[in-house]
Amino acid sequence: MSSDLTSENGGVIITKVNDLLNWSRLSSLWPLSFGIACCAIEFMGAFASTYDLDRYGVFPRPSARQADVIIIAGTVTFKMAERIKRLYEQMPEPKYVISMGSCSNCGGPYWQHGYHVVKGVDRVIPVDVYVQGCPPRPEALIGAILELQKKIEGERLLGGVRKSEKTESPEVKESV
């Protein structure tokens, strides 16, 4: 956040409104507490006392209407894809997506021999940050949160178009 402190004791901070909004948004990410498969265990581990995502302002929410981040952690089947899309649509703007693990990134080891697995959640909803691994460690999820915070810091909400516009994949279908 770019700001100037005019005096050390009880001074005035001068900053841009966009910088203030971005700082407040990146300091309070509320992910939807939602897990599909084995990556969800690592997702839960990241919120445990060992890694403590609370110190980054990340606090899981039980409702999509209260969340601004959805972390897709696990294998996305075609049956689950429509539910993921519905949850994503219920989230208020601005909203972000983290794809966690090989299964949600590209279908993992299941998509080649399984007719029921989506080859990446980005075919259903737009993804902002990908986390590699099978399953990825909690440290990798923390790295993705930090990467998302950098992305939010560079956005522009007021006075024009956002710097990092997401576009939906043309393969998104209503009957997924």
| Pairing assessment for the beta strands 3-5 and 13-15 based on DSSP bridges | antiparallel
Rg (CA), the chain: 18
Cα–Cα distance, 175 to 67 (Å, whole number):
25
Give pTM, 2 decimals: 0.77
Mean pLDDT on 48-53: 82
**Confidence category of residue 160, pLDDT binned at 50, 70, 90:** low
Mean pLDDT on 34-63: 84
Of 37, 44, 35, 41, the closest CA to residue 75 belongs to 37
- 72 burial via Cβ count (<10 Å: 0-12, 13-18, 19+): buried
Chain-centroid distance of CA 103 in Å reads 16
Helix (H, G, I), strand (E, B) or coil at 129: strand
Give the pLDDT confidence score for residue 11 in this predicted structure. 72
pLDDT surpasses 70 at 24: yes
Give the pLDDT confidence score for residue 23 in this predicted structure. 78
Give the pLDDT confidence score for residue 162 in this predicted structure. 47
**Confidence category of residue 89, pLDDT binned at 50, 70, 90:** very high
